[in-house]
A and B are shown apart, each in its own frame.
Chain A
């Protein structure tokens, strides 16, 4: 497995501001992903964070709202821009380790965001 940390673990932000969430992995991984979990809901994939290129966004998510960086194989950031109360969610990063044929995906502890 992989050890994944996220910062911050939680935050309360004002409407209209932005928050950058960091995801750090203890080993090199090919695939990194960002998910959102709205209150009482399941997880929805926001985007795939590609190392050295732009992130690939899922339907309903756009780069202007959720810019993502992936400068190397162990680190990624997700920014939630121009926040509104509807962005209040848990944001989780996940990784799929660099092992051909092994597809287990591991999740960070999440960042609980509240927008007031």
Chain B
């Protein structure tokens, strides 16, 4: 079954506004990662948040994780036209006794973000 669900499916905003995307998942996770994809190209890794972390920042990106609600959010502040892309969350559910992730990512359906100049 699909692990992650994202909302909204599409988001349209003006340049300078903030964009918030949400991701929910169903099982316990080791970590959650956010990716950006431009026009069906490869995925760009944005940020990883571990299950024992609640918030993480990287430049204009802020990610939160609530494991009790099995949800995460990605906030992009002061958006730019270049931020226009699809954004995916992906969960990594397993880790072995040696501390190595199994690496099997389960992706959400994604949010299509359009930032108008």
Where the two chains meet, the residues of A that have a C-beta atom closer than 8 Å to any C-beta of B are 1, 30-31, 33, 37, 41-45, 48, 58, 90, 92, 94, 96, 100-101, 103-110, 112
Contacts and interface: CB of A to CB of B under 8 A. Distances in A.
A60 to B, nearest CB: 12
Interface residues of B, number: 28
12 contacts: A42-B109, A42-B110, A43-B88, A45-B104, A45-B105, A100-B98, A100-B99, A103-B48, A103-B92, A105-B45, A107-B35, A107-B42
Interface string B58-96: 000000000000000000000000000000101010010
Contact of A107 (B43, B98, B101, B109): B43
Nearest to B108: A42
B65 to A, nearest CB: 14
A33 B104 contact: yes
Contact of B103 (A31, A100, A101, A112): A31
A103 B103 contact: yes
Nearest to A32: B103
B35 A96 contact: no
